[in-house]
Amino acid sequence: MEGLPEFYVLCNTCEPPVRLHRLPSDSQESFQLSAPVLPSLSSQLLLFSVGDWSGLSHDSKYEVQLEATGGKKITLGTLSRESRCFIWDCDSCKDLTCMLKDSKVHVAILIQGQLHHKKNEPKQESRKRKRLKGEEENICPNKGLVKGDTAKSKNKNSKSAPLPKPVAVAKTTNGISGVPSGRWGHTLCPADSETVILIGGQGTRMQFCKDSMWKLKTEKNTWFPLETVADGSTPEARTGHTAVFDPESCRIYVFGGSKNKKWFNDVHILDTEAWRWRSVEAQGKVPPLSYHSCSLFQGELFVYGGVFPRPNPQPDGCSDSVYIFDPQHEIWYQPIVLGKKPSARSGHTASLLNRELYIFGGWDTPLCYNDLFLLDLGLMEFSPVEVNGISPSPRSWHSAASVSDISFLIYGGYDGNQALTDTHMFNTVTKTWTALVHKSLPRSPRAGYAMLTLPAVQEESKDCSPQELLIFGGGDNEGQFYSDTVRLQITDIVNL
Provide the 10 A C-beta neighbour count for residue 343: 13
* pLDDT(99) > 90: no
- Is residue 156 domain-shared with residue 108, that is, in the same domain? no
User: How much is the pLDDT for 491?
Assistant: 82
Residue 119 lies inside a defined structural domain of this protein: no
Q: Which of 94, 112, 130 is the last residue of a domain?
A: 112
Whether residues 61 and 191 share a domain: the answer is: no
Please indicate, yes or no, whether residues 422 and 335 belong to a single structural domain of this protein.
Answer: yes
Residue 1 lies in a domain: no
Is residue 369, in this structure, part of any structural domain at all? yes
pTM for the model: 0.70
Q: Is residue 139 part of a domain?
A: no
Q: With bands split at pLDDT 50, 70 and 90, how would you rate the model's confidence at 402?
A: very high
Last residue of a domain, one of 87, 112, 137: 112
Is residue 123 in a domain?
Answer: no
Residues 27, 18: contact at Cβ < 8 Å?
A: no
**In-domain check, residue 286:** yes
Residues 309, 362: one domain?
yes
Whether residue 302 is contained in a domain is answered as yes
> By the 8 A CB rule, do 307 and 263 touch?
no
Distance CA 69, CA 98 (A): 12
pLDDT tens for each residue of 175-232: 344 589 999 999 999 998 899 999 999 998 889 998 999 999 998 889 999 888 887 7
* CB contact set of 38 (below 8 Å; sequence gap of 6+): 11, 18, 105, 106, 107
Residue 116 has pLDDT above 60, yes or no: no
Q: Specify whether 276 is located in the same domain as 417.
A: yes
Task: Specify the pairing of strand 18-19 against strand 61-68.
Answer: unpaired
pLDDT by residue (tens digit) across 202-215?
998 889 998 999 99
Instruction: Indicate which CATH number applies to the domain containing 210.
Output: 2.120.10.80
64 and 166 housed in the same domain: no
Q: Same domain for 108 and 202?
A: no
CATH classification of the domain holding 96: 2.60.120
Residues 60, 205: one domain?
no
Peptide bond into 455 cis (omega under 30): yes
Phi then psi for residue 338, to 5 deg, are -100, 175
- Quote the pLDDT of residue 2: 53
Domain count, the chain: 2
Q: Which of 90, 112, 134 is the last residue of a domain?
A: 112
- Clarify whether residues 346 and 260 are in a common domain: yes
Q: 231-287: per-residue pLDDT in tens? A: 778 899 999 999 999 999 999 999 999 998 899 999 999 999 999 999 999 999 999
Whether residue 399 sits in one domain with residue 343: yes
Find the domain containing 486 and state its range. Answer: 145-494
Q: Alpha-carbon dihedral of residues 183, 184, 186, 189, nearest 10 degrees?
A: 90
Report how far residue 85's alpha carbon sits from residue 49's, in angstroms, rounded to the nearest whole number.
Answer: 6
Residues 22 and 169 in one domain: no
State residue 157's pLDDT score. Answer: 32
The CA-to-CA distance between both ends of the chain, in Å, stands at 55
Based on its alpha-carbon atoms, the radius of gyration of the chain, rounded to whole angstroms, reads 24
Both 241 and 284 in one domain: the answer is yes
Task: Write out the H or E segment, with its range, that includes residue 246.
Answer: strand 242-246
* 132 within some domain: no
CB 65 within 8 A of CB 110: yes
User: What is the reported pLDDT for 335?
Assistant: 95
Residue 148's pLDDT band, with cuts at 50, 70 and 90, is: very low
